[in-house]
Amino acid sequence: MHFFQTENILFQKMAFFNKKTSKISFFYKKTYQEKLEELKNFANLTEQDIFELKNLAQLSFGTADKMVENVISTIQIPLGIATNFLINKKNYLVPMATEEPSVIAAASNGAKLARFSGGFTATSTQPIMIGQIQIINIKNIKEIKSKILQNKNFLLKLANKQDIFLQKLGGGAINLKLKTLKTNRCNMLIVNLFVNVKDAMGANIINTMLEKIAPEIEKITNHKILLKIISNLSIYRMAKAKAVWKKEILGQDTIENILDAYEFAKIDIFRTVTHNKGIMNGIDAVALATGNDFRAIEAGAHGYACYKKKYAPLTHYYKNKNQDLVGKIYLPIPVGTIGGITNIHPSAKLSLKILGAKSACELSQIMASVGLAQNFAALKALVTDGIQKGHMTLHKRKL
């Protein structure tokens, strides 16, 4: 039986058991009303949610004015829905905010083709972030280190007092490690604080903890502290996703060409950066839609790309024994489903509701899957039609 037929049978079975699927045929051809109706059914949206979406879930001047300084207006970016995502056997309609044509269509296409082999499998680590305290002008490193380590429990307890609620949820400061730096100006000691931030992005929690424990460290060591700030290289907060694209669907030639395109990205940094940019097209769009800090994610992703000395692609491709294409992604994704503007911004709130992610970990797994789908779709387009074809289709529609 052909793969398309198998997929259709699965789809019919799902409909029969009234299970919701994100595989909505020709979603892009539906009218605006029909799209909203699909969303309403899929994500159990209320009439009020639909009313807000229709009114573009506008950010009022009052809300905007509470978010940043010197507000004069707001800028709007299209919010679209990527269909077809099946991640760990769960269907997702993924809200994406982007100004770039073809991004949402490409992600949907990558996800659609992955469904033939069961969609994406994704995992993530505990949401552990690092905060850094910089102690400068160190004369006797050994002595200062031992003074801090003697007070480690006291400092962790003090950090945790800043967010009792986080501890009740099973999170909080869990460890503290020291690192010495010999710089051109002086010897420094860096205190790295490790915090399980649960469903928050974590910057506020960590910066508050650091600012509270820093004066105590100053007293304990009798040394000056300079910076107290979160690290955006969150290598302990990783998300992983994998998908298999069947040889019968892609064709052997396309698979070979994608592998050659991947080799190019592995060797030539001018290509690697563009390859990773394509991944971030998807990840940033979900971050923006859900009110997350996409600059932090970008900085962390590119930092991680060169963490092992040489700047490298964030995705990996190879053939399995059936000659199918296997794609994997592994990168830090520090995101929250609470805190920041996730619960203030009307569009962010609605996007999280549509997505139905129950935790920050789940959100990071979705974003890793979107990044992989996006990268796969870009490579597939580049080795076949080129990317301008998709852009031109949209352009024609506009005209």
Cα–Cα distances in angstroms (integers) from residue 344 to residues 65, 260, 293, 295, 352, in the given order: 12, 45, 14, 19, 12
CA distances from 164 to 157, 161, 301 (A): 10, 6, 31
Q: Which of 14, 257, 387, 391 binds ligand MEV (CB under 6 A)?
A: 387
Phi, psi torsion values for 193, nearest 5 degrees: -100, 130
Q: How far is the CB of 163 from ligand MEV (least distance, A)?
A: 39
Nearest approach, Cβ of residue 377 and ligand MEV (Å): 9
Q: Which residues in the 278-307 window bind ligand MEV by CB under 6 A? A: 278, 281
Q: Residue from 317, 378, 380, 390 that binds ligand MEV (CB under 6 A)?
A: 378
CB 363, min distance to ligand MEV, A: 23
Which one of 199, 284, 293, 362 is the catalytic residue? Answer: 293
Q: Applying CB under 6 A, what is the total number of residues that bind ligand MEV?
A: 9
For the CB of residue 27, give the shortest distance to ligand MEV in the complex, in Å: 22
Site string for ligand MEV, 261-280 (x = CB under 6 A): -------------xx-xx--
Classify residue 127 as exposed, middle or buried by CB count within 10 Å of its CB (0-12, 13-18, 19+). Answer: buried
> Over the chain, what HEC string results?
CCHHHHHHHHHHHHHHCCCCCCCCCCHHHCCHHHHHHHHHHHHCCCHHHHHHHHCCCCCCHHHHHHHCCCCCCCCCCCEEEEEEEEECCEEEEEEEECCCCCHHHHHHHHHHHHHHHCCEEEEECCCEEEEEEEECCCCCHHHHHHHHHHCHHHHHHHHHHCCHHHHHCCCEEEEEEEEEEECCCCEEEEEEEEEECCCECCHHHHHHHHHHHHHHHHHHHCCCEEEEEECCCCCCCEEEEEEEECHHHHCHHHHHHHHHHHHHHHHCHHHHHHHHHHHHHHHHHHHHHCCCCHHHHHHHHHHHHCCCCCCCCCEEEEECCCCCEEEEEEEECCCCCECCCCCCCHHHHHHHHHHCCCCHHHHHHHHHHHHHHHHHHHHHHHHCCCCHHHHHHHHHHHC
- The interaxial angle of helices 269-289 and 346-355, nearest 10 deg, is 100
Closest to ligand MEV by CB, 141 vs 387, is: 387
C-beta closer to ligand MEV: residue 234 or 281: 281
Pick out residues in 120-159 that bind ligand MEV (CB under 6 A): none
Contacts of ligand MEV in 211-240 (CB under 6 A): none
Q: For residues 90-119, which are near ligand MEV according to CB under 6 A?
A: 100
User: Closest CB to ligand MEV among 158 and 387?
Assistant: 387
What does the per-residue mask of binding to ligand MEV show for 327-366, with x meaning CB under 6 A? ----------------------------------------
Which residue, among 151, 144, 236, has the nearest Cα to 190 in the 3D structure?
Answer: 144
The amino acid occupying position 116 is F
Out of 100, 248, 256, 298, the active site residue is 100
Would you say 202 or 278 has its CB closer to ligand MEV?
278
Asked if 65 is an active-site residue, the reply is: no
Of 40 and 277, nearer to ligand MEV (C-beta) is: 277
Q: Which is nearer to ligand MEV, 230 or 377 (CB)?
A: 377
Tell me, yes or no, if 349 is annotated catalytic: no
CB of 102 to ligand MEV, least distance (A): 8
Annotation marks residue 100 as catalytic: yes
Question: Least distance from C-beta 387 to ligand MEV, angstroms?
Answer: 5
- Residue 10: count of CB within 10 angstroms of its CB: 15
Instruction: Tell me if residue 324 is catalytic.
Output: no
Could you say which of 161, 247, 277, 328 is catalytic? 277
Give the residue with the Cβ less far from ligand MEV, 91 or 375.
375
Which CB, 186 or 269, lies closer to ligand MEV?
A: 269
Write down the least CB distance from residue 1 to ligand MEV, Å: 33
Query: Which residues are known catalytic residues?
Result: 100, 277, 293, 391
Question: Residues interacting with ligand MEV, by CB under 6 A?
Answer: 100, 274-275, 277-278, 281, 378, 382, 387
